[in-house]
Structure 1
């Protein structure tokens, strides 16, 4: 028997939120790329900005993955601890004679 207040909340998102996140990323990246292409500057400055945008983008993906992995590992540990506690409580007999 589990208590609903002790269970980890589900981390599911809707399809609309998923699509919105993808579209938002695509639009923002396209806007920056177009901005860099039409920037009235030398090609080496444009290349520097493009590499900077690429670096920021890959760093953001890496950070998101690390945060997600840490959250997932904490959820698993919490579930294992909860399962152990549930097993101990289920096996505990307060009326058992202690010799």
Structure 2
């Protein structure tokens, strides 16, 4: 009933994630820079994008922390159950 071990993240997958993030942020930055509007509108959009990026990082960290907590709790519960089962002898007769 234990969870299977999850394989480690490969270097190629990590590189793909970093490159994808860079392309998305870079294209948004270029789009804001070449937008035919005033400096105040560009500044507002730039701050909005930075706020969205930092919020996404914080949300990802919160989700990861919650998953680690749940995983740790289930491992502790599984260890307790395994200990109880290993100590239980169904053929042992208790004296009355």
Match of 2:13 among 10, 17, 25: 17
**Aligned CA-pair RMSD:** 1.2
> CA offset at residue 7 of structure 1?
2.5
Match of 1:72 among 57, 62, 68: 68
Uncovered stretches (5+) of structure 1, i.e. residues with no partner: none
Structure ranking higher on relative contact order (CA contacts 8 Å, 6+ apart): 1
TM-score by length of 2: 0.92
Contact kept? 1:8, 1:75, Cα under 8 Å: no
Uncovered stretches (5+) of structure 2, i.e. residues with no partner: none
Say which SS state the counterpart of residue 50 (structure 2) adopts: helix
TM-score by length of 1: 0.89
Q: Structure 1 stretches (4+) deviating beyond 4 angstroms?
A: none
